[in-house]
A and B are shown apart, each in its own frame.
Chain A
């Protein structure tokens, strides 16, 4: 349940950053744009979440002490685990979308990873065994 919530929360945070940035980037941001960004980020993020995030979480949960998780988790999930996504985004510029859309996708995934990292650190803190 918590993984589903963390997935939705982090994905929606990424979408929010895309929507807010689009206010300043475009004169027009239609339903087609919103649906396109929503579907592409949802599908991409689901893929990354299941294949990379959950695996990475198992590893770093053991390696990083709980006091440092609030710093390292957001950095790792936004920058390191997202590397294949960033690579794919920039590789498909010009084929599927332009550079301005690629920037929005990058910002969206960066935010989603950051929020997921924070959420995991928070979850670990809340569910840590009381001393």
Chain B
């Protein structure tokens, strides 16, 4: 009810409700970048040209295998009368052929994921009172890696060698094989990654982090969707802000290209999506890459002060006129 009220209210107030931004941004072996805008999948070639490669697909995630086959889903709602969802999984082959990997099916995707390691194992989260992180091997065997009464678990990320990263409220965890048996262990890498935002921004959620990605040095990067920034979690678990978006855009996910540049997937207040390249020089210098950053908070405060001053002098003028009239009448 609370979410509903706040969501409806915000829709009326600002028309800036972001439904559920995607995190799908991947690169192929040549270094081309692919990303989803929740309606189409775009390709940014090495020369910077941009083209739609798959259209008419509502996919939040993407996966690309070692042969440059691109995978995604298409999710749709069947209307209020049926109140059901449907999906299919598509694959854009490296030959350019688009095929359906999973045929149109009612309900959400289950026992399948676009979070995969280089061996083709899939990983996903089952969010219940007791949440589970699951793995499906290439042979089809489904294994429960861990379970527990977690807080809200956000998006899952997987490195090529099968290290899993996920956020639980404002904590960042790593799930990895313990090396002794078939078991897995959870390490908490950072405890306080959240930033303080209002309930209006968070829309009832108590977390801020969104997409997760890593670099070649195994630093973990997190898109902080409400505070509109990217933080890097280094070896000691200290979050460091390395990038901020401007007021109209927020970072949802990211990836590093073959040259060490970071590409961030950004969502605008009007639900537009773009991929922005942050050069490695910027990252090395820790410079604020959002050169067009504006601060609506500061601007609004200044306008408010200006408004108060204007109203005060306006009122003073009217009262002075009234006083003069009264004095003239008295004389």
- Let me know if B20 is at the binding interface, CB within 8 A: no
Stretch touching chain B among A19-27, A50-58, A68-76, A83-91: A19-27
Please classify how large the interface on chain A is, using the bins under 10, 10 to 19, 20 to 34, 35 or more: 35 or more
Q: Chain A's interface: helix, strand, loop or mixed, by majority?
A: helix
Instruction: Give the distance in Å from the alpha carbon of A9 to the alpha carbon of B313 in the complex.
Output: 11
Asked if B226 is an interface residue, CB under 8 A from chain A, the answer is yes
How many B residues have CB within 8 A of the partner chain?
A: 41
* B2 proximity list for chain A (CB < 8 A): 94-96
Known contacts A12-B304, A28-B201, A126-B319: A19-B10 contact under CB 8 Å: no
- B296 engages A130 (CB within 8 Å): no
Kindly state the separation between the CA atoms of A39 and B15 in the bound complex, as whole angstroms.
13
Q: Is A129 a contact partner of B330 (Cβ separation < 8 A)?
A: yes
Q: How far apart sit A32 and B323, CA to CA, in the bound complex (Å)?
A: 43
Does A30 make an interface contact (CB < 8 A)?
yes
CB contacts (< 8 Å) of B46 on chain A: these are none
User: Which B residues lie within 8 Å of A5 (CB)?
Assistant: 311, 314-315, 318
Nearest A-chain residue to B228, judged by Cβ: A28
Q: Mark B301-331, 1 if CB is under 8 A from A, else 0.
A: 1001101100110110011101100110010
- Please give me the residue from chain A that is nearest to B269 by CB atom: A31
Chain B CB within 8 A of A13 CB: yes
Interchain nearest-CB distance for B244 vs A (Å) = 10
Which B residues are CB-close (under 8 A) to A37? 200
**At the interface, yes or no: B106 with Cβ under 8 Å from chain A?**
no
Contacts of A33 in B (CB 8 A): 197-198, 200-201
Contacts of A39 in B (CB 8 A): 13
A63 to B326, CA, bound (A): 23
Q: In the complex the two chains form, what is the Cα distance from A29 to B320 in whole Å?
A: 39
**Among residues 96 to 129 in chain A, which have CB atoms less than 8 Å away from a CB atom of chain B?**
96-98, 100-101, 119, 122-123, 126-127, 129
Known: A32-B201, A96-B5, A101-B200. A27 touches B296 (CB 8 A): no
Q: B242: CB under 8 A from chain A?
A: no
Whether a CB of chain A sits under 8 angstroms from the CB of B297 is yes
User: Given A5-B315, A30-B247, A16 and B305 touching (CB < 8 A)?
Assistant: yes
Give the shortest distance, in Å, between B302 (CB) and chain A (any CB). 10
Known: A5-B311, A28-B226, A101-B200. A123 touches B319 (CB 8 A): yes
Q: Is A35 an interface residue (CB 8 A)?
A: yes
Contact between chains at A19 and B300 (CB < 8 Å): yes
Taking CB as reference atom, which chain B residue is nearest A6?
B315
Within the complex, the shortest CB–CB distance from B76 to chain A, in Å, comes to 28
The answer to whether the Cβ of B278 comes within 8 Å of any Cβ in the partner chain is no
Q: Given A26-B197, A36-B200, A127-B326, is A1 in contact with B318 using a C-beta cutoff of 8 Å?
A: yes
Q: Which residues of A contact B330 (CB under 8 A)?
A: 129-130
User: Bound state CA distance, A110 and B330, in angstroms?
Assistant: 38
Q: Which residues on the B side are within 8 Å of A12 (C-beta)?
A: 304, 307-308, 311
Query: Most A CB atoms within 10 A — which of B226, B300, B307, B323?
Result: B300
- Which residues from chain B sit less than 8 Å from chain A, CB to CB? 1-2, 5-6, 9-10, 13-14, 16, 195-201, 226-228, 247, 269, 296-297, 300-301, 304-305, 307-308, 311-312, 314-315, 318-320, 322-323, 326-327, 330
28 contacts between A and B (CB under 8 A): A2-B318, A9-B308, A9-B315, A12-B304, A16-B301, A19-B300, A25-B196, A26-B198, A27-B196, A28-B195, A31-B16, A31-B269, A32-B13, A33-B197, A33-B200, A35-B16, A36-B14, A94-B2, A95-B5, A96-B9, A100-B198, A100-B199, A101-B199, A101-B200, A126-B319, A126-B320, A127-B319, A129-B326
